[in-house]
Chain A
Amino acid sequence: DAKTTQPPSMDCAEGRAANLPCNHSTISGNEYVYWYRQIHSQGPQYIIHGLKNNETNEMASLIITEDRKSSTLILPHATLRDTAVYYCIVRVYRGATNKLIFGTGTLLAVQP
C-alpha cells in the first residue's frame, strides 16, 4: 500500500485558509487519496477523497497534482473547531479488502 508523508504539525490563524500537504509518491493508478481528521480522541471523521481530479465539498477542497504524487487539503476558512489531527491516506481496494492505513498525520492548530 502506498505510503504517505505529512508534516507533523502546522499552525493556522482563525479565518484564514489552512493548506495541508501530503506526499504519496508511490501511489498507483487505481489508488484513491482520502482525508480524515480526528478531533481529540473522537472517531476519525471523513472529509473528502479523490482519484485524479480536484474535489470540493462543504467541508474542504482537495487538490491533487497532475502526476498524483502529492495532494493538498484546503480548509477555506479555518475555525478553532478545525483543530485536529488530519490524516492523508492512500486507499487501495484489492480483492474486497478495504482497509485504511493511517500514518501519524498532521496536527493542525488553529490560533485565535
Chain B
Amino acid sequence: DSGVTQTPKHLITATGQRVTLRCSPRSGDLSVYWYQQSLDQGLQFLIQYYNGEERAKGNILERFSAQQFPDLHSELNLSSLELGDSALYFCASSAGPQETQYFGPGTRLLVL
C-alpha cells in the first residue's frame, strides 16, 4: 500500500459524458501527478501539481483538466469523453518536486 488513494476504482460511462477522478496523496506529500495508461500508448504523464499550483504538463488533452485543492487532494476532470479515453488513470504523489513518486491503485475508465 503506497498511501495514495484514488476513487472510484472503476467507472463506466458513455461517450460525450464528463467524469471526475479523485486522488488523495500520501500524508505530507505536496506534489501530485496524473498518468494515463492505455493499451496502445503505455503509461503517459499528463500533469503535475505542487502545493496547489500547476508545474508541468505532458500529453494532456484540452478536454481534460485538473486541479489540486488546499487540502492537497487532486481531481482530474475528463469531458466530452470518447471511446479512446478508456484507460487506467493513475495518480502519484511525492514529498516535493524532486522526490520519489508513489503511485495509487488507479481508476479504470471504460467509455462505451
Contacts and interface: CB of A to CB of B under 8 A. Distances in A.
Interface of A: 34, 36, 38, 41-46, 49, 87, 93, 96-104
> Is the interface on chain B under 10, 10 to 19, 20 to 34, or 35 or more residues?
20 to 34
A41 B100 contact: no
B43 interface: yes
B101 A42 contact: no
Interface of B is mostly: strand
B106 A42 contact: yes
Given A46-B100, A96-B97, A100-B92, 12 more contacts: A41-B108, A43-B2, A43-B4, A45-B2, A45-B103, A46-B2, A96-B50, A97-B97, A98-B97, A98-B101, A99-B45, A103-B42
Interface string B92-112: 101001111111111010000
A96 B4 contact: no
